Amino acid sequence: MNKKVSRDASSPTRKRRSAGEARRAILDAAASRLMNEGPDGLRLKSIADDVGLSHSAILHHFGSREALIEAVRVDGFAALAEDLRQRLAEPTEGDPAIAFFEKVAQTLGEHGYGRLLAWQLMSGQLPSAGAVGEAVLGPDGSGGLLDGLARPLHTLRTRRFGECD
């Protein structure tokens, strides 16, 4: 007895992808769900439906839901750090301190970065854990997201108020 499975018209058609393409599509779909629905939106079945993969394909690429969530966190913080570095390197007009904070605020407002940061803080998971810590703090405790914010802010402060202890 053959059963024909009907697909929901809104679900994308499944297609062959390289491992890298599939992994990227899964991360992008998970990040989009996190931004639009919060952590409750990170359901493997829903993410699989979004990208036209099976639930087991996600497990194949990430091993578990927790590993996928960690990958979303790492990927998001790495992207945030890079976007902040680029934006802070752009020339500014007017008061550099105000421009600095405007650039940070604009960057956090884009791509769900503010939501990612709020989720990180509210989850109680410290950024020093694993690869997220590396993105936030840098591989040696320097050069990460916080360093990218602290150094320009310190430079602005010393220009305005002189050398501080």
Burial (0-12, 13-18, 19+ Cβ within 10 Å), 12: middle
Containing 158, the helix (H) or strand (E) segment is: helix 145-161
pLDDT of residue 140: 65
Residue partners of 66: CB distance under 8 A and separation at least 6: none
Q: How confident is the model over 155-164, as a mean pLDDT? A: 69
User: 48 vs 35, 40, 88, 111, 132, CA distance in Å?
Assistant: 17, 15, 36, 21, 24
pLDDT score for 145 = 66
> Please, is 132 exposed, middle or buried when counting C-beta atoms within 10 Å of its C-beta (0-12, 13-18, 19+)?
buried
Residue with tokens 């992994």: 23
Confidence (pLDDT) at 134: 61
The answer to which of 26-35, 116-125, 142-151 has the lowest mean pLDDT is: 142-151
- Structure confidence by residue, pLDDT tens digits, 20-72: 899 999 999 998 888 888 777 789 999 999 999 999 999 999 999 989 988 88
| Residue whose structure tokens are 């904070």 | 101
User: What's the confidence (pLDDT) of residue 28?
Assistant: 93
- 74 residue type, one letter: V
